[in-house]
Amino acid sequence: METFWAALAGMIVYLDTTAIAQIMICQPIIACPLWGVLVGRPEIGLFFGVVFQLLWLGNLQIGAAKFTEGNIGAFVATVLASVVPPQSNGEPAWIVIALALAVGVIVAQFGCELAPLVRRVVGRIVPAYVAAAADGKTKTARNYFLLAVTIHLLAGFLFSLTSLAAGHLTFRFVLGDFYLAGISESTAVATQEILAGLWPALLGAGSAAAILILVRRATRVTFLVASLIFLSAGLLWIA
């Protein structure tokens, strides 16, 4: 049942990304922690919210260009990681985080084809919508508008649902049949040491992705000076 609600929420993420309003509730830093709060795993939401926000910052929905569905990918990763109970210390196992991250990135890549497909389908009803408007048939035109909205809703819902189902199958394949009850202590311990390095690696990759979109040739010096000042302040703060 949680998968159904998650697919509905994924549908809203999809709608806000390109089709309706674009008020940015779809952004990972908003959608992922919100889901985390709803299911009682805020730490998972905050983790994926920050990581995917930085990673997909340069993912621009410009014109007719294909773009990675990074927002849905981030959301799917959060949902998947939050279904596995935490370890005895209250923290999620790194193997779960790594697996959810992998699924999230793959879902985002597959999502490249979603918006073009929806645009082609919507394109088929556009002539009928324009003809109805030209004839002054307000009710018919409204119905075509609702049909177009429904196509977007269905696309977002089905893509989220399929991604979540594929994610659950992947979890089951890697973590075993009873992953929903928690992963075994031996699996967690065996992978913990190497995967604990994921956090600095992900933030290193994320900050690089953010810098690539934020820094221009003309502002490189400003960026370097700002980095040095902020890094010094950070080190002083730690000390």
Choices 3-11, 75-83, 127-135, 161-169; region in contact with another protein by CB under 8 A: 127-135
Residue 81 found at the interface with another protein (CB under 8 A): no
Neighbours of 231 (CB within 10 A): 10
Choices 2-10, 79-87, 165-173, 194-202; region in contact with another protein by CB under 8 A: 194-202
**All residues at 6 or more sequence positions from 64 whose CB lies less than 8 Å from its CB, including other chains:** 119
* Among 63, 61, 62, residue whose Cα is nearest residue 72: 61
Report the nearest approach of another protein to the CB of residue 184 (Å): 22
Which residue in the set 2, 4, 126, 154 belongs to the binding site for another protein (CB under 8 A)? 126
Choices 79-87, 133-141, 164-172, 177-185; region in contact with another protein by CB under 8 A: 133-141
Structure tokens belonging to residue 45: 């939401």
Residue 39 found at the interface with another protein (CB under 8 A): no
Residue 189 found at the interface with another protein (CB under 8 A): no
Residue 211 found at the interface with another protein (CB under 8 A): yes
Report the nearest approach of another protein to the CB of residue 130 (Å): 5
Choices 82-90, 112-120, 171-179, 182-190; region in contact with another protein by CB under 8 A: 112-120
Which residue in the set 75, 129, 159, 171 belongs to the binding site for another protein (CB under 8 A)? 129
Report the nearest approach of another protein to the CB of residue 177 (Å): 28
Residue 194 found at the interface with another protein (CB under 8 A): yes
CB 61 within 8 A of CB 18: yes
Which residue in the set 10, 80, 95, 152 belongs to the binding site for another protein (CB under 8 A)? 152
| Alpha-helical regions (H) of 176-197 | 185-195
Which residue in the set 57, 79, 81, 99 belongs to the binding site for another protein (CB under 8 A)? 57
Place of tokens 């919210």: 49
Residue 30 found at the interface with another protein (CB under 8 A): yes
**All residues at 6 or more sequence positions from 1 whose CB lies less than 8 Å from its CB, including other chains:** none
# residues near another protein by CB under 8 A: 95
CA 143 to CA 92: how far, in whole Å?
Answer: 47
Comparing CB distances to another protein, the nearer of 133 and 161 is 133
CA 15 to CA 69: how far, in whole Å?
Answer: 11
Question: Which element (helix H / strand E) includes 184?
Answer: none
CB 155 within 8 A of CB 111: no
CA dihedral 21, 23, 28, 33 (to 10 degrees): -110
Neighbours of 156 (CB within 10 A): 27
Which residue in the set 8, 34, 158, 161 belongs to the binding site for another protein (CB under 8 A)? 34
